[in-house]
Amino acid sequence: MTRSHRTIHLTLWLALALAVAIGFAAALYFRPPVQAAAPHATVVAQT
């Protein structure tokens, strides 16, 4: 790998880790209680 490629690679992973961690934490925190889940969301989430 070239030097610039290594730098971009590391920066990209750090940024991706942060973005996905935020999304993942939000998805976990805001999980609707099973009985309160919107009916369409339940159907769509079947797959």
Partner 1 sequence: MSVGYRAIQWNRDKLVYDGVLITGIVLFIGIFMAAWSWINPPASLAEWSILRVRAFGICAFTMLTLVLMIGPLARLDRRFLPVLYNRRHFGVATFVVASVHAILVVLHYRAQDLLDFMASQLVNFSAYTSIATFPFHALGIASLAVLFLMASTSHDYWLNFLTPRTWKSLHMALYAAYGLLVLHVALGIMQEYRSPIIPLLLGAAFLSVTTLHVVAGWRERPADHGVAPQNDGWIAVGPPRSIPDKRARIVAVPGGERIAVFRDGDRIGALTNLCAHQNGPLGEGRIIDGCITCPWHGYQYKLDDGCAPAPFTERLVTYRVRLRGGVIEVDPRPLAPGTPAAISLPPGTT
Site for partner 1 in 18-37 (CB under 8 A): 19-20, 23-24, 26-28, 30-32, 34, 37
Residues, the chain, total? 47
Q: Which residues contact 1 (CB under 8 A, 6 or more apart)?
A: 9
**Which residue is associated with the tokens 């935020």?**
22
User: What does the alpha-carbon distance between residue 25 and residue 19 come to, in Å, rounded to a whole number?
Assistant: 10
Q: Is 39 in the site for partner 1 (CB under 8 A)?
A: no
- Minimum distance, C-beta of residue 9 to partner 1, in the bound complex (Å): 6
Interface contacts to partner 1, rule CB under 8 A? 1-3, 5-10, 12-14, 16-17, 19-20, 23-24, 26-28, 30-32, 34, 37-38, 40-47
